[in-house]
Structure 1
Amino acid sequence: MKTLKLIKNDPWLAPYKQAIEGRHNRAVEKISELTGGTGNLSDFADGYLYFGLHKENGHWVFREWAPNANAIYLIGNFSNWKERPEYRLLAIGRGVWEIKLPLDTLHHLDFYKLSVHWPGGQGERIPAWATRVVQDPETYIFSAQIWDPEKPFVFSKKPFRPQTSPLLIYECHIGMAQQEEKVGSYTEFKEKILPRIVADGYNAIQIMAIQEHPYYGSFGYHVSSFFAPSSRFGTPDELKSLIDEAHKMGIAVIMDIVHSHAVKNEVEGLGRFDGSYNQYFYGDHRREHPAWDSLCFDYGKNDVIHFLLSNCKYWLDEFRFDGFRFDGVTSMLYYNHGLGQAFGSYDDYYNGGQDDNAIVYLTLANELIHQVNPRAITIAEEMSGMPGLAAKFNDGGIGFDYRMAMGIPDFWIKTIKEKKDEDWKPTAIFWELTNRRSDEKTINYAESHDQALVGDKTIIFRLIDDVMYWHMSKGDTNLIVDRGMALHKMIRLVTLSTINGGYLNFMGNEFGHPEWIDFPRQGNGWSYKYARRQWDLVDRNDLKYQYLGAFDEAMIHIISQKKKFERTPIVKLCENDGDQVLAFLRDDLLFVFNFHPFKSFNGYGILAPTGEYEHILSSDDPAFGGYGLIDMKVKHLTRHDPLFEKDNKEWLMLYLPARTAQILRWKKPEPGETKNASKSKKSAGSIKKENKSKKK
């Protein structure tokens, strides 16, 4: 066997060659086993077309896998919720049960469940493959519902091609995306929020909490019905309409999919579905997740792999999602779920504590998804840093397209909490933002929904805190607010400008949404006050939130218009911890940051490629709540220095106000132009003398 490219690219992986090749070969063998040697996982993952309720050959046909059951009845409003012999399923082998009924027996919007009998017990269950599950508003009981409208939704015929260069993601939650204190709908999101996202310049949305979940406050992470889009937000057709409209607007739609665990509920979920403890989940000490109060799938069972792979294909096929962000991947990769482990060396990834069955499943999931849609996007939420997670399967990787850079938000929180402003070091910032594997694409983000939840704080709240309640009016000068807004802009721009794959923002954070997210619960009187987004704050012309929103829109548009920006090399030009100045070049865009809290620099020299530089963005622009200290109309010509002539670099002299960020566009000298953009013959020594600081 040839050495896998993953190992070739990283010589430090050579000692673990056997383990890496072993995982790769197990995935190859499993694909062959499941597909009968064809390798066609797409055909294997058609379970949603077989199981559940369907119309076939002039009949309703219902099938369910329940190997421990000894009797199953279909019950519903059509049977007065009683077991009747004509609704008893037949066992047809391999633990599969089936019933065929005349078409006039069941109707659109009928409610139904299963009454499952097993040795020593019986219970009502919602079918595992149900595609619509609703909760009775009076009894709060969940039931499956037939969704068979006379005129089903029809997607636009034009195929959608996601724009992923660069990938700019707006993370969102349908229910809390509205202004009112209530649960928002798919339709409201389509009509009110999508236009905002398009205007901001993002090219993808990542939607949370799509799979049905009994408890709204779980943020969608305790899934009960894996094939049912949450009915809290509307109908399946309304979700399809949202996705179709997003595609028309050029927005890719990524689903936050949860295959790392499942809710423990037995009536609503898969826990003891057929009376056994180990149908979908581990039957031993690994059954319950030690931190999440949930159940862990047994990825070693082919029937479980079939269920989960079919779930991936279902959302791609039936709803035309453009891909998935897989939640809780770290928890899947390790027997200890990554809890309490530091992951300080490569040994931690190959010490026998890895769940090879889960690794094989994730590899198969990525292979399947890209078979179904070669342009699909897969993202791993993973914090351990396992090598190869976002490398191609054929190269020895697990096959994700991207991995979340989960260390970055932790870095920003730690910096804000523990370091004085004058101790913010550009070397540390640049290292954290660019320290990644060269053969894997990452999603940079300063903060996601995690940092906005009760018990945590968003960046803006850490910077400004309760002063936001009193001093966010335009014209109200407050040093705490000024500092917070300045750093908020700088943090987001430096995080965005260093991407090698994509960037993510959670809805509302772009304009500094105040307060936390707290879903209705007993502890807050079942209030929706904090389970919403206050869009009026950014819409009001008298508030400073508008400045932050405008800056986010400006920086996103600049990067979005730069095709293949994420692939351009990051050329570091200046990294001065004493001055707290950082500058780097990406193609023709120069990014300059002065993190110093009070020192502004006049004529600060940065060694840069020869040419002309013009300002295209300044965080100090009055339109973004700044003081307008930078003259955006001034074009800067580099100054010749014979010491650096061989490097084709000259001195670029800039004014750097304290706590500001700038983007300049570099114009290369045209052929035939004088080699030096400026004929100034100042020496390196004289240039350095100009790097004097002054108080802002």
Structure 2
Amino acid sequence: MSKVIVHSLFSEFDIDLFKAGKHFRLYEKLGSHPMELNGEKGTYFAVWAPTAKSVSVVGDFNGWQGKSHELNVRWDGSGIWEGFIPELGPGTLYKYYILSNNFGIATEKADPFARLCEHPPKTASVVWEGDYSWQDGNWMDTRGDKNALDKPYSVYEVHLGSWKRKENNDFLNYTELGEELVKYVNEMGFTHVEFMPIMEYPFDPSWGYQLTGYFAPTSRFGTPDEFKQLVDKLHQAGIGVILDWVPSHFPEDAHGLGFFDGSHLYEHPDRRKGYHPDWKSLIFNYGRNEVRAFLISNALFWLDQYHVDGLRVDAVASMLYLDYSREEGEWEPNIYGNNENLEAISFIRELNETVYGNFPGVQTIAEESTSFSMVSKPVHMGGLGFGMKWMMGWMHDTLEYFKKEPIYRKHHQNDLTFSMTYAFTENFMLPFSHDEVVYGKRSLLYKMPGDEWQRFANLRLLYGYMFTHPGANLIFMGGEFGQSSEWNYNQSLDWHLTQYELHSGIQELIKDLNKIYKSSPALYEKQFSQEGFQWVDYGDAENSVLTYIRKGHNQEDDLVIAANFTPVPRTKYRVGVPKTGTLKQLFNSDAKKYGGAGSKKMSVTTENEPWHGYDNSIEITIPPLGIVIFQ
């Protein structure tokens, strides 16, 4: 086997950008790149290891022997080791053997920029050269409009390893998912899918939230090109793709980023800032220029190379606060004496500015559970720059309310109405995510009180309320057909339940809610604006009824919504309306097709009887544990 030939893909300008933390296409330079040099085919390798005494490429081609293929360190102090090895090509298994100047510590590491990794539990990197031809030009040309904040955003959250499995419990691969998942999401009417992390991860019970291969789609389901094909097919079906992305922490696995070159290279050296007590993982050093460039390059990589339409950034709250999950004495205040992580905040702002500056048609979404202000406001206004933020307070308050027996709900009406006091402080997405259906929290269906009829009626009401509340929507897989059991990452969803009328009824309800959401401008044109919502009456706690109006740009599109949170039908219930005419019923959660009692569609004409502060009103029936929508 030939020895390493001195070669570089880096210009001096590249190095200057890298040192300054401003090189955001590092994946084009670092990592392994099959290429031809002076007429000879081989692979160029480059890795950042500034405290290394030597770095060698080891792999199946040299018997994993330490120093036979030693890379050359650059002269410019960048800490980058590089070189070209002839004859090596795609499919080569490799790692970096790093001997450190730090007490002679030796580490054997997977390539942080590898495009493909071995199937876990194996841990080697794989030289990869893709050859995929995208067919999603129409989507890419128009996605800026489809992804805009005044367009429908109904998201189906998916864990690829457990959405559906084969009879022997094997995974569906990316190609099979490209047929079955795309068809299903299209039929259900969701506008976007959100994949829980698909970057390579070593440990299945982490669900993908502890990454070791930041630039590699997990090999559990196939190759990088096959994952591209899955994204492509979703785009061709008019469905956007959001990826969960984890810049908040990474695991201590021996082959991963931790203690990479015998020093705290990627993680913060101070354990008070560099170790996460909840997840027993390491925290990135957001103040180090090269680490910022690594992370921002990674975000852009998925948007660039995989045509992804959005990044949902995991665990943002843990990044923002120095005392997150820490006791007194376990953290150190910042220079201003408070608990904000200024380096992480600076990183997040630069991330969002860079993402939107390079890919204006995408969205970033923060999973952020605290009252940190202006998360979804632009950086130039002093915000963090995200496009949206998960509305965790709404989710918590709403589920707590629905868990209560209806007889007690009149004492807790404020749990539902409180969200409107802050609903427009951020661009909120309403999530019923995977976190709500694990670890003994029960499925959404079994959070509901009462007998079987009441549970399903409550779930239909919950979804109707969700889709008519201001904000975008997210439902975790299985919730759309009322899965009975908690989510189990290690097996398929309980698809057999859809043969039963009540479960298939929930499916039909979600289909119709998605149709109504996408065809009703009042539900999305001003979904993040106070102008898009108006209470009719939030004070009828005695009957546990809420009535409200959703508004778009044109008054003719306005919707009147009435929700009854008790099992007692509200007949001849009068609702004030702002204009005269006939109102058509668009939706009734008690319809027979949804598993309800069969309430019929109806139209009502306004009467010249003042009510709720309006000159006119309508008289309607609100079904038990039901919600109705009129236009």
- TM-score tier by shorter-chain length is 0.7 to 0.9
Q: What SS does structure 1 have at the residue aligned with 2:318?
A: helix
Q: Hey, what does 1:115 align to over in structure 2?
A: 97
CA contact (8 A) 2:403 2:448 kept: no
Distance verdict in 2 for CA 1:309–1:547, change over 3 Å: same
1: distance between equivalents of 2:197 and 2:207? Answer: 6
- The offset of 1:55, in angstroms, is 4.0
- The offset of 1:282, in angstroms, is 3.1
- The offset of 1:503, in angstroms, is 0.6
2:386 is the counterpart of 1:400: yes
What amino acid sits opposite 2:605 in the alignment? L
What amino acid sits opposite 2:630 in the alignment? L
- The offset of 1:605, in angstroms, is 0.9
2: distance between equivalents of 1:591 and 1:133? Answer: 51
Q: Hey, what does 2:514 align to over in structure 1?
A: 556
What amino acid sits opposite 2:603 in the alignment? K
Distance verdict in 2 for CA 1:369–1:60, change over 3 Å: same
- The offset of 1:415, in angstroms, is 2.3
Alignment of 1:149-298 (within 5 A): 151-158=131-138, 159-162=140-143, 163-164=146-147, 165-180=151-166, 181-267=169-255, 269-298=256-285
Q: What SS does structure 1 have at the residue aligned with 2:282?
A: coil
TM-score (norm 1): 0.79
- The offset of 1:57, in angstroms, is 5.9
2: distance between equivalents of 1:554 and 1:437? Answer: 25
Alignment of 1:523-562 (within 5 A): 528=490, 531-538=491-498, 540=499, 542-562=500-520
Alignment of 1:109-148 (within 5 A): 109-118=91-100, 119-135=103-119, 140-148=121-129
Unaligned runs of 5+ in 2: 1-13, 329-333, 527-531, 552-557
Distance verdict in 2 for CA 1:92–1:184, change over 3 Å: farther
2: distance between equivalents of 1:102 and 1:337? Answer: 45
- The offset of 1:153, in angstroms, is 4.3
Q: Hey, what does 1:565 align to over in structure 2?
A: 523
- The offset of 1:656, in angstroms, is 2.0
Q: 2:565 aligns with which of 595, 614, 619?
A: 595
Q: Hey, what does 1:584 align to over in structure 2?
A: 548
Q: Hey, what does 1:631 align to over in structure 2?
A: 600
1: distance between equivalents of 2:119 and 2:424? Answer: 47
Summarize deviations over 1:310-341 as a string: whole Å, max 9, x none.
11111111111111000000000000126689
CA contact (8 A) 1:459 1:488 kept: yes
CA contact (8 A) 2:501 2:595 kept: no
CA contact (8 A) 2:15 2:78 kept: no
Q: Hey, what does 2:619 align to over in structure 1?
A: 653
Q: 1:456 aligns with which of 426, 434, 441?
A: 441
What amino acid sits opposite 2:52 in the alignment? A
2:54 is the counterpart of 1:66: no
1: distance between equivalents of 2:614 and 2:401? Answer: 36
Distance verdict in 2 for CA 1:110–1:239, change over 3 Å: same
What amino acid sits opposite 1:591 in the alignment? I
1: distance between equivalents of 2:312 and 2:80? Answer: 33
Distance verdict in 2 for CA 1:618–1:157, change over 3 Å: closer
Alignment of 1:475-554 (within 5 A): 480-500=451-471, 502-519=472-489, 528=490, 531-538=491-498, 540=499, 542-554=500-512
What amino acid sits opposite 1:384 in the alignment? T
RMSD: 2.6
What amino acid sits opposite 2:316 in the alignment? V
CA contact (8 A) 1:454 1:517 kept: no
2:60 is the counterpart of 1:77: yes
Summarize deviations over 1:454-486 as a string: whole Å, max 9, x none.
33212202226xxxxxxxxxxxxxx71100001
Q: 2:83 aligns with which of 83, 100, 106?
A: 100
Summarize deviations over 1:96-148 as a string: whole Å, max 9, x none.
33333354x21221111111111322121101111111136xxx331101112
2: distance between equivalents of 1:425 and 1:592? Answer: 19
1: distance between equivalents of 2:182 and 2:306? Answer: 17
Unaligned runs of 5+ in 1: 1-33, 342-347, 465-478, 520-527, 666-696
What amino acid sits opposite 1:452 in the alignment? V
- The offset of 1:426, in angstroms, is 7.5
2: distance between equivalents of 1:76 and 1:191? Answer: 36
- The offset of 1:246, in angstroms, is 0.8
What amino acid sits opposite 1:130 in the alignment? A
Summarize deviations over 1:509-537 as a string: whole Å, max 9, x none.
01111212234xxxxxxxx3xx3212232
What amino acid sits opposite 1:664 in the alignment? F
CA contact (8 A) 1:129 1:227 kept: yes
2: distance between equivalents of 1:414 and 1:86? Answer: 60
Q: Hey, what does 2:3 align to over in structure 1?
A: none
Q: Which moved more, 1:160-169 or 1:611-620?
A: 160-169
1: distance between equivalents of 2:49 and 2:253? Answer: 17
CA contact (8 A) 1:263 1:294 kept: yes
- The offset of 1:188, in angstroms, is 2.2
Q: Hey, what does 2:10 align to over in structure 1?
A: none
1: distance between equivalents of 2:346 and 2:387? Answer: 16
Task: Flag the structure with larger Rg.
Answer: 1
Aligned residues: 584
2: distance between equivalents of 1:300 and 1:318? Answer: 27
- The offset of 1:95, in angstroms, is 4.4
- The offset of 1:155, in angstroms, is 4.6
1: distance between equivalents of 2:484 and 2:416? Answer: 28
